[in-house]
Structures are given as C-alpha cells and as structure tokens.
Amino acid sequence: MVKNKLQRFAENKFFNNMFQCTYNDLLTTGFDLKGKWRSEFFNNENPIVLELGCGKGEYTIGLGKKYPYKNFIGLDIKGARMWRGCKTSNEENMTNVAFIRTHIQLIEHFFAANEVDEIWITFPDPQLKKPNKRLTSPRFLALYSKILKPESIIHLKTDSNDLYDYTLNEVLLPQKYNVIFHTNDLYAEKDYLEVKEIQTFYEIMYLATGKPITYIEFKIII
Ligand SMILES: C[S@@+](CC[C@H](N)C(=O)[O-])C[C@H]1O[C@@H](n2cnc3c(N)ncnc32)[C@H](O)[C@@H]1O
C-alpha cells in the first residue's frame, strides 16, 4: 500500500496537469497560474469549475467529459487519491482538466478574484468536532467569495445530515446567501438527474449502505 502511494506521488510529479507547491513557494514566489489559468493553461476563455475535496476526482473527470467547453480543476490534499483522476485525464487526453494538491484553506493563492465560475463540494469530511474546518463554514465561504464571480453557484453533496443541517440552517442565512434548491434525500427526488448522474467513490459506498444523500445548491449574494 505504502509502495503504491509512493509510486503515485512520484508519478504525480510528471503529470503536466497536476500542480503542487510548498507553502513557502506560495508565500515567496506565488503560484504562476493564479489569474492566468485561462490564458496560460487551458488556452481558452471557458468557465472554470472547481471540485473541492475531490478525492479521486469523479466530478472533475465526469463533468470534464460531459462539458468539453468548460474547464475543471479538482483540489485535495491527498495526492495518492487525486492520482487516479489525473491518470484518467492523461490516458484520455483531456485538455480541460487539472488537479491541485493543496489545503483548501490556501485556495486564494491559486486563483484570482472572479477567476472561478462554479464550485462543487463533494462529500467533504463533516468535521463534527471542528466547525471551523467544515468546507461550508463561514470561514471557507468567505474564501470562495474572493475567487468566485458574482452569482456563481456552489453545490454541496453530502451523506452527513449534520453537515447538511448546519450548512442550511446555521450558515446560509438569507441576507447573505440564496439557496436555490435543497433536499435531504436526493435520490428520492424525481428531478435533479444531472446531480445524480455522476457518483463519487464515497457516494457509491454510502448508497450501498442505504444512506440518503443530501444536496444543497446555493449562491453567495454578498
Ligand atoms: C470523504 S473524502 C471525499 C472524496 C471525494 N469527493 C468522494 O466523494 O469520493 C473527503 C476528501 O476531502 C479532502 N479534504 C478534506 N478537507 C480538506 C482540506 N481542508 N483541504 C484539502 N482537502 C481536504 C480529503 O483529503 C478527502 O480526500
């Protein structure tokens, strides 16, 4: 297992669409593509969609195939997991997909203001004991608002009722956020086929145990 992990870390260094920087590099030289993803990496003016806590990158890859005229970037701290998505994107010559290995806390080092068009948060750790570490806490939403265009959509898909309730009832206050849709049982809904179409590694495991999947789609107003 460890050998496999080390092998994946080594391979990650050679993928031209996998980015990782030390914290020191971010603070000193900064990240080259910040503000230049479209002009210097994707070579197009298409929208940029992020998948946060992407794991193996099922959304990044799945949406990348479905929407060739959009660009997708998966972020996670676990390089061995992201290797899977990155390897697939290379094997399939996908030019609209990239991955960044980083703590999401550092996201504003990688993107400039208004550079991002949409965010998917797929099955994040619910962080029941550490609310400040939840990827939908006010602290993280404030970071996302620094890089998102106004009126951009954020999607949260989670098996955690606690995270769903917390996000919906404690964070997404109507003065600051517009909740477009929410459900505590996505697969009981007739519509929203697109949200069900791509299933992540964790989602498949939770579905197999009969756990309902919850979903919230919202916008940051201010
Ligand atoms: C439960 S897994 C879900 C992975 C994938 N989205 C899925 O649904 O299969 C949560 C992922 O979020 C990542 N993660 C959690 N907090 C993070 C953070 N602050 N920065 C970067 N990655 C984070 C973890 O490394 C892990 O891969």
What is the average pLDDT across 104-129?
A: 97
What is the average pLDDT across 121-129?
A: 97
pLDDT at 2: 54
> Tens digit of pLDDT for each residue in 138-195?
999 999 999 999 999 999 999 999 999 999 999 999 889 999 999 999 999 998 888 9
Q: Name residue 121's beta-bridge partners.
A: 52, 156
What is the average pLDDT across 131-142?
A: 96
Q: Name residue 119's beta-bridge partners.
A: 50, 154
Helix axes 2-12, 79-91, angle to 10 degrees: 60
Angstrom distance (rounded) from CA 96 to CA 17: 9
> Tens digit of pLDDT for each residue in 82-114?
999 999 999 999 999 999 999 999 999 999 999
Contacts of 153 (CB under 8 A, 6+ apart): 118, 119, 180, 217, 218, 219
pLDDT at 181: 95
Q: Is 2-220 a domain of CATH 3.40.50.720?
A: no
Determine phi and psi for 180, rounding to 5 degrees.
Answer: -85, -40
> Is residue 64 scored above 60 in pLDDT?
yes
Contacts of 48 (CB under 8 A, 6+ apart): 37, 38, 42, 70, 71, 72, 73, 111, 115, 116, 117, 118
Residue nearest to atom 5 of ligand 1 (CA): 55
> Tens digit of pLDDT for each residue in 26-63?
999 999 999 999 999 999 999 999 999 999 999 999 99
Compute the distance from residue 121 Cα to the ligand 1 centre, in Å: 9
Residues with CB under 6 A from ligand 1: 53-55, 76-78, 81, 103-105, 122-125, 200-203
Angstrom distance (rounded) from CA 66 to CA 194: 11
Q: Which residue among 23, 26, 77, 86 has the greatest number of ligand 1 atoms within 8 angstroms of its CB, and so is best to mutate?
A: 77
Compute the distance from residue 181 Cα to the ligand 1 centre, in Å: 23
Compute the distance from residue 18 Cα to the ligand 1 centre, in Å: 16
Whole-prediction pTM: 0.96
What is the average pLDDT across 53-82?
A: 97
pLDDT at 57: 97
Angstrom distance (rounded) from CA 196 to CA 212: 12
Atom of ligand 1 nearest to the CA of 104: 20
Residue nearest to atom 10 of ligand 1 (CA): 124
Reduce the secondary structure of the chain to three states and give it as a string: CHHHHHHHHHHHCCCCCEEECCHHHHHHCCCCCCCCHHHHHHCCCCCEEEEECCCCCHHHHHHHHHCCCCEEEEEECCHHHHHHHHHHHHHCCCCCEEEEECCHHHHHHCCCCCCEEEEEEECCCCCCCCHHHCCCCHHHHHHHHHHEEEEEEEEEEECCHHHHHHHHHHHCCCCCEEEEEEECCHHHCCCCHHHHHCCCHHHHHHHHCCCCCEEEEEEECC
pLDDT at 174: 84
Compute the distance from residue 11 Cα to the ligand 1 centre, in Å: 20
pLDDT at 3: 60
What is the average pLDDT across 2-8?
A: 82
Compute the distance from residue 153 Cα to the ligand 1 centre, in Å: 20
Domain edges within the chain: 2-220
Residues identified as active-site: 125
Atom of ligand 1 nearest to the CA of 53: 12
> Is residue 10 scored above 70 in pLDDT?
yes
pLDDT bracket for residue 222 (50, 70, 90): low
